[in-house]
A and B are shown apart, each in its own frame.
Chain A
């Protein structure tokens, strides 16, 4: 599995370099919470990107002819999501702290616990949804679905705003202790991640190339 991770990183060195510049640029020029955006983007774009590079080079056949099980290939992608997230977060924290200290960051803010937790939640949710689609359909055919998923949060916000009662109905959540709520949400998300992994393995094992 480690070899697959090394392979994915090796074929994306240019993208990683771009991300490095993008992170610095975002801190200097954008008035957004970079600590959330960079880890999410690196997790999603690098995972999807590695699949895209495989497809562009027609290398999937090559990888599938290596002494590997298909399930290992799938699980390594799920693991790489976490590694890219961690790498993105580390990058954001390092550059963020430095640029805020120097005083050239647009938003003078250090990373918070909530930034890490929220971005991790969003990453897990996205990856759980798009990875099975990619493993079922391949990169080219799944691009539309991945794009639709990027639009999902704004669509969800619109739908929720149409139902003001919904937020009232969820008020009880504020009475649940914060730690317990976090634990519950994470448990739920990791369950989804596990289910997603299960379906991805099944889809990929059945696919013909």
Chain B
């Protein structure tokens, strides 16, 4: 499988936070969702990929090239969409495009105009006059108009209304119809990823909890519901996270066979959502 992005054993230490031995990869032609709670290290990871933040250790390869050694070559092939607007607010879309287009060898006016038309964006409106959704669509149009093969998006759907969010997700799915294009998409809105992601990397406290195909994740994890009395110290170890209520306990497990062996049919087994996987993993209990 050809990889668009490889992050290998990357670490970065801050005074109060640390990213430790982070490894994951994005196969070509797929959407990788980077999930995790706020402050988990998703944005820092993306910044390290773009070399906006210097990593302390490890290696990052984009299309097989080191991201720093081949910085310019690699960036020609990346389209970046940030969580908030980074374009010059006082300029019109056309003026911003004119400035940015000069930097890319493969800038394609036809593609740019097609996206502007498809997203119904006005060329002559100032960036500050655009709505949040329009700004996001403009950023996507800018990121896609130079034939980028890896689109990196940092929380692109945060703060968008459900209709625009759904439009953005449709656009992402459209992008990967071209099997040369891959998407790395960070978010804490897990329902977005349930719709579109092929692979998932879950980061928590600066560490990778899992990085695998979404279907495998959803297959491996199970929610187990039962009476409190069934939970002894040995059985607790079978769960990634446990929540208790007046009605009993709910635990998330990655090893359902072992739980079945221990608790048999005295409990209820259910498939969790990505959100539940994230909550139980983070809260532990």
Contact = CB atoms under 8 A, between A and B. Distances in A.
A59 B50 contact: no
Contacts of A64: 50-52
Contact of B103 (A14, A59, A61, A67): A67
Q: Contact size class for B?
A: 20 to 34
B75 to A, nearest CB: 4
Contact of A6 (B50, B76, B86, B102): B102
Contacts of A53: 88
Contacts of B47: 208-209
Interface in A54-77: 56-59, 61-62, 64-69
B75 A58 contact: no
A65 B75 contact: yes
A157 interface: no
Given A53-B88, A57-B88, A65 B98 contact: no
A11 B99 contact: yes
A206 to B, nearest CB: 7
Nearest to A11: B88
A11 B82 CA distance: 20
A3 interface: yes
Given A10-B95, A58-B84, A65 B78 contact: yes
Interface string A28-50: 00000000000000000000000
B99 A69 contact: no
A66 B82 CA distance: 13
A62 B97 CA distance: 13
B255 interface: no
Contact of A62 (B72, B76, B82, B89): B82
Contacts of A14: 90
Given A11-B91, A62-B87, A209-B53, A68 B72 contact: yes
Q: Which of A6, A14, A59, A68 has the most CB of B within 10 A?
A: A59
A67 B70 CA distance: 10
A140 interface: no
Contact of B72 (A6, A58, A67): A67
A6 B51 CA distance: 24
B98 A10 contact: yes
A67 B54 contact: no
A61 B154 CA distance: 12
A101 interface: no
A52 to B, nearest CB: 12
A57 B78 CA distance: 22
Interface in B25-75: 47, 50-54, 71-73, 75
B100 A208 contact: no
Interface in B78-129: 78, 80, 82, 84-91, 95, 98-100, 102-105
Contacts of A206: 54
Contacts of B72: 67-69
Nearest to A205: B54
A14 B95 CA distance: 14
Contacts of B50: 64-65
B54 A57 contact: no
Nearest to B44: A208
A96 B104 CA distance: 41
A69 B51 CA distance: 11
B84 A68 contact: no
Contacts of A208: 47, 52-54
B87 A59 contact: yes
Interface in A3-41: 3, 6-7, 10-11, 14
Contact of A209 (B52, B71, B87, B98): B52
Contacts of A68: 72, 75, 103
Nearest to B152: A65
B80 A65 contact: yes
Give the 5 A-B CB pairs with smallest separation, nearest first. Answer: A67-B75, A62-B86, A209-B52, A3-B102, A65-B80
Interface of B: 47, 50-54, 71-73, 75-76, 78, 80, 82, 84-91, 95, 98-100, 102-105
Given A59-B87, A66-B100, A209-B53, 10 more contacts: A6-B102, A7-B99, A57-B85, A57-B87, A62-B80, A62-B82, A67-B103, A67-B105, A68-B75, A208-B54
8 contacts: A3-B103, A10-B91, A10-B95, A57-B88, A65-B80, A67-B71, A68-B103, A69-B71
